[in-house]
Amino acid sequence: MLVLSLSGCSLFKPWKDDEYSRAKNAIEGYEDKEGNWIRPEGSRADKMMNSDVPKIFQKIPGLGERTVDKDLARTTLKEANELYQAAVSSQDTDRKELFRQAAKKYNQAGKHWASSSLEQDAYFMTAESYFFAEDYPKAEDYYVKLIKEYPRTRYQDRVDQRRMEIGNYWLQFPDKFYNINLTDKKRPLNDTENHGKRVLEKMLLDSPTGRLADDVTMDIANTEFKRENWNEALDRYRDLISVYTDSPHQFDAHFLGAKSALLAYQGPQYSAEPLEQADKLLKQMVRQFSKQASERKEPIAEMLAEVKYRQAERLYDEATYRNNKQEYAAAIVYCDRILDNYPDTPFADKAQQIIDKAEGKPSVPTPYLHWMTYAFPTRDKVTPLLKPTQQEIEQRQAVISRPRNKPSTNPLDPLGGDSQVRTVGNIEPAKQ
């Protein structure tokens, strides 16, 4: 027993260390003709390793593994590097043509050794060569191929920077889809601006947590704002605020998001959600960015005043609707909200007028020919229980006839300090 313990655990190993390594390599890769174990890289290699296609069919050209010629790949890559360096050093008119030749050589080198680090480098350098040749559509195609085939590539940050530059460049050309481009290699065939937007959106999908993700989101939001697509711009600004909390664009996203929400609001007959979003963003901005908010005190105060104006307008519209239907008790409820929450708006005086005219009138209208309901029997056992009692009727009449005070006209100061905000009725509503 002592002899066994002194000899170590080698007697109980199922295989030797070199056998274990060979078995592990056989699972993860393959052995080439030179005796080196190679682990294929990229999404295409992973699909081949996990494929259910029988091996006999994987030998078919185009369906199975590609032929590998490492010597030819290295030689072609060296030639491509020479062309690339010549293009960088050149100051002649053929500089762009040298970059295009280098791009083709890099592409050939990658095909000779698929699913390898050399192919990854070749894809990147192909895209870079087309980028410096100012063939931006081709450069974007190869950047996408690189990200698709090697999603964990070490060139991710550089690729994001290049794609962002391409997308922002294309956003400067608001071409229509029917305008065909056949001369400028910097731009796609048609619809240049939308191509730029798609590049930025695809970049967010490929690298949502990248270093430039918040910059791209801000660029897309600003593009929608310039196009006057207020709802889309608001959604993008809200995405930046909620996802990229440490972004330096936070204040601008709050400010422009609130402005987009006010411009997206369509009136009291439509949804109040944009108005609520504007109010929420403005209050967050004043609370979280007090220093920056103080520098833009006047426009923020105007937006806060407009929010109050619009909210009072919605209540007054509902009060008018109830008053026209002779539902005076419901109309008074909405008028009370205006007097309590928005006394400095022009709707306060109008609400007081509705209340004064409702004095002595029934809380709900009397239905026409209501006496005929007693002429016919009914099996409804719930309606009599819903009929108001005499005490409830007297309480409603007391609410209508009670005296009320005139509203105050003192302007509010939403930012504090010595700032003076204009009366809400004097502001000009946002352009629809």
Q: pTM of the predicted model, to two decimals? A: 0.74
| AA letter at 182 | L
DSSP 353-380: HHHHHTTTS-SSPPPTTGGGGGTS----
β-sheet bridge partners, residue 31:
37
Distance CA 270, CA 12 (A): 79
Distance CA 284, CA 233 (A): 18
Q: What is the pLDDT of residue 431?
A: 45
Task: Output the CA–CA distances (angstroms, integers) from residue 315 to 54, 92, 264, 365, in the order listed.
Answer: 71, 71, 19, 21
Q: What is the pLDDT of residue 172?
A: 92
303: Cβ–Cβ under 8 A, 6 or more apart, which residues?
258, 259, 262, 278, 282
User: For residues 125, 131, 132 and 133, what is the CA-based torsion angle, rounded to 10 degrees?
Assistant: 110
Q: Which two tokens stand for residue 393?
A: 């009727």
Q: What is the pLDDT of residue 374?
A: 66
Element (H, E) at 406: none
CB 97 within 8 A of CB 135: no
Q: Which two tokens stand for residue 160?
A: 């994001």
Distance CA 355, CA 404 (A): 9
Distance CA 230, CA 257 (A): 9
Q: What is the pLDDT of residue 415?
A: 46
β-sheet bridge partners, residue 37:
31
CB 157 within 8 A of CB 211: yes
Q: What is the pLDDT of residue 84?
A: 96
pLDDT by residue, tens only, the chain of 432 residues: 444 444 444 444 444 455 655 555 444 455 555 555 556 677 766 666 665 556 666 566 555 566 788 899 999 999 999 999 999 998 888 899 999 999 999 999 999 988 888 999 999 999 999 999 999 999 999 999 999 999 889 999 999 999 999 999 999 998 887 889 999 999 999 999 999 999 999 999 999 989 999 999 999 999 999 999 999 999 999 999 999 999 999 999 999 999 999 999 999 999 999 999 999 999 999 999 999 999 999 999 999 999 999 999 999 999 999 999 999 999 999 999 999 999 999 999 999 999 999 888 888 887 777 666 666 666 766 666 666 777 877 776 776 666 655 544 444 444 444 444 433 334 444 444
Phi, psi of 34 (to 5 degrees): -85, 0
Q: What is the pLDDT of residue 35?
A: 56
CB 143 within 8 A of CB 152: no
- Helix locations, 171-249, DSSP H: 192-206, 213-226, 230-243
Three-state secondary structure of 70-92: HHHHHHHHHHHHHHHHHHHHCCC
At which residue do the structure tokens 């103080």 appear? 294
Task: Output the CA–CA distances (angstroms, integers) from residue 331 to 318, 335, 342, 350, 358, in the order listed.
Answer: 7, 6, 16, 12, 9
CA 191-193-196 angle, to 5 degrees, is: 110
Phi, psi of 131 (to 5 degrees): -65, -45
249: Cβ–Cβ under 8 A, 6 or more apart, which residues?
214, 215, 218, 240
What ranges do the domains of the chain cover? 13-39, 326-368+390-426
CB 253 within 8 A of CB 241: yes
> Is 38 in a helix, a strand, or coil?
strand
Q: What is the pLDDT of residue 176?
A: 81
Look at residues 346, 349, 337, 353 and name the one whose alpha carbon lies nearest to residue 422.
346
At which residue do the structure tokens 């100051």 appear? 91
